[in-house]
Amino acid sequence: MSRKLDDLGVSAFCESMGMMMRSGIQTDEALGLLLSGKDGKAGILEQGLVYMKEQAEQGSGLAKAMEGSGIFPDYALQMVSAGESSGRLEDTLFRLSGYYREQKSISEKLRNSVTYPAAMIVLIIAVLAAMLFMVLPVFTGVYNDLTGSLAGSSFSYIRAAYAVCWIALIVMVVLAAALFFGFRAWRSGKKAGVEKLLRRFPVCAGILDSMGMFRFTSALGMFLASGEMQDEALLKSIPMTDCAPVEEKLKKCAARMEEGHSIAQAAFDEELFEPVYGRMLLAGERSGSMESVLERLTGLLEENCSNLVDRLVGTVDPLLSGILMITVGLSLLSVMLPLIGMMNSVA
């Protein structure tokens, strides 16, 4: 199968399997129970469950069955395989469920942060087009009917109104085109180029780095919980970040670990986290509660990422609204000034 489950589907599957395995249900029976609750619908998950159930009945492990179905992301497959090897499959499944649920939440926030400005830009383009091709020509016609032709001062006001609207319209069209082609490039595999452009803006760079750190801490916590050694867990977590600057820092941490430093000390020395978070990790390592500290850090990083996205939306929203109001207001004022002048001359 070429299609993959979305984050919410992976989360639901992992949570369901984790609960049934915790209840003592065997893998093939658990898959059969999941399949029986799908009302015969032939969706992606249903097709995958049929295949996985057959493989499990033949003695394959869950990780191998999931891999053969072709509907799960590589990260989930690696974690389930590590969980099976270490005998901590149930805990791994529950952690994966939480991870993909959080991923879904962040992805929706990011989608909304793009969708809302895009909708506002389309609205602004529609209003400006209406001003240019419907409202302003009406005022021009009225003034021509009243005066025979526009006076020099009146013409300058109308020309200013047209100029303001055209400039704003061109800017909005350019922004809309940038969003459209940026989205297409992101979806077509040119993600690195789009990210490089986004990193020119501090808020966007902060969001990308925060998401990379969120993925790293979540992956590291799950690998450690699955029984991996610290150095192996770090190396396996690096590709999960999907963020080049974060990967560079992690590679430096890996080099320090090769010199004999612990993962917490290496992260603190390389300033991988903010100082307060780095000290939390050190304290967690020394007290033997590394996994719980990483889980806490993952939650804090998710919250920070959400706050950054909200701040971006909170900045763009009033900015676009202000552009719309100022443009329309200046245009209407420009076309009203000649009328006010005529009324004063009549009076």
What is the domain partition of the chain in residue ranges? 7-101, 104-347
pLDDT tens digits, residue range 292-306? 888 888 888 888 888
Distance CA 71, CA 50 (A): 12
Mean pLDDT of the chain: 80
**334-341 long-range contacts, Cβ below 8 Å, gap at least 24?**
334/157, 334/158, 334/160, 334/161, 334/164, 335/135, 335/136, 335/139, 335/157, 335/158, 335/161, 337/157, 338/143, 338/150, 338/151, 338/153, 338/154, 338/157, 338/158, 339/139, 339/143, 341/153, 341/154
Distance CA 223, CA 229 (A): 8
Residue 1: pLDDT band (50, 70, 90) is very low
Fold of 104-347: Receptor-associated Protein (1.20.81)
Residue 26: pLDDT band (50, 70, 90) is confident
Q: For 60, left (φ over 0), alpha (ψ -120 to 50), or beta?
A: beta
- 58: Cα separation from own chain's centroid: 39
pLDDT tens digits, residue range 131-164? 888 877 877 776 666 655 555 555 677 777 788 8
Positive or negative, the CA dihedral 171, 177, 180, 182 is: negative
Per the CATH hierarchy, to which homologous superfamily does domain 7-101 belong? Type II secretion system (T2SS), domain F (1.20.81.30)
- The percent of the chain in helix, strand and coil, each rounded to the nearest 5, is 85, 0, 15
Residue 335: pLDDT band (50, 70, 90) is low
CA atoms within 13 A on the CB side of 155: 7
Distance CA 297, CA 210 (A): 11
Q: Stretch 16-39: mean pLDDT, rounded?
A: 82
Q: Measure Cα distances from 117 to 112, 291, 305 in Å.
A: 8, 39, 19
CA atoms within 13 A on the CB side of 272: 31
Residue 337: pLDDT band (50, 70, 90) is low
Report the range of poorest mean pLDDT among 189-193, 327-331, 338-342.
338-342
Q: Stretch 188-217: mean pLDDT, rounded?
A: 79
Distance CA 309, CA 110 (A): 7
Instruction: Give the count of beta carbons closer than 10 Å to the beta carbon of residue 128.
Output: 25
Flag whether the pTM goes above 0.85: no
Q: Stretch 23-49: mean pLDDT, rounded?
A: 77
* pLDDT at position 319: 79
Instruction: Give the count of beta carbons closer than 10 Å to the beta carbon of residue 71.
Output: 24
pLDDT tens digits, residue range 219-273? 888 778 767 788 888 888 888 787 888 888 889 988 888 888 888 888 888 888 8
Does 19 have pLDDT greater than 50? yes
* pLDDT at position 189: 66
The alpha-helical segments, DSSP class H, found in 148-201 are 152-187, 191-198
Q: Are 169 and 128 in contact (CB under 8 A)?
A: yes
Q: Which of 65, 82, 75 is nearest to 99 (CA)?
A: 75
Residue 39: pLDDT band (50, 70, 90) is low
Distance CA 93, CA 100 (A): 11
Task: Please name the residues in contact with 261: beta carbons below 8 A apart, sequence gap of 6 or more.
Answer: 269
**Domains 7-101 and 104-347 equal at CATH topology level:** yes
Looking at the chain, the whole-number percentage of residues with pLDDT higher than 70 is 88
Residue 198: pLDDT band (50, 70, 90) is confident
Q: Each residue of 73-86: b (16+ CB within 10 Å) or e?
A: eebbbbbbbbbbee
* pLDDT at position 127: 84
Q: Which of 32, 1, 2 is nearest to 17 (CA)?
A: 32
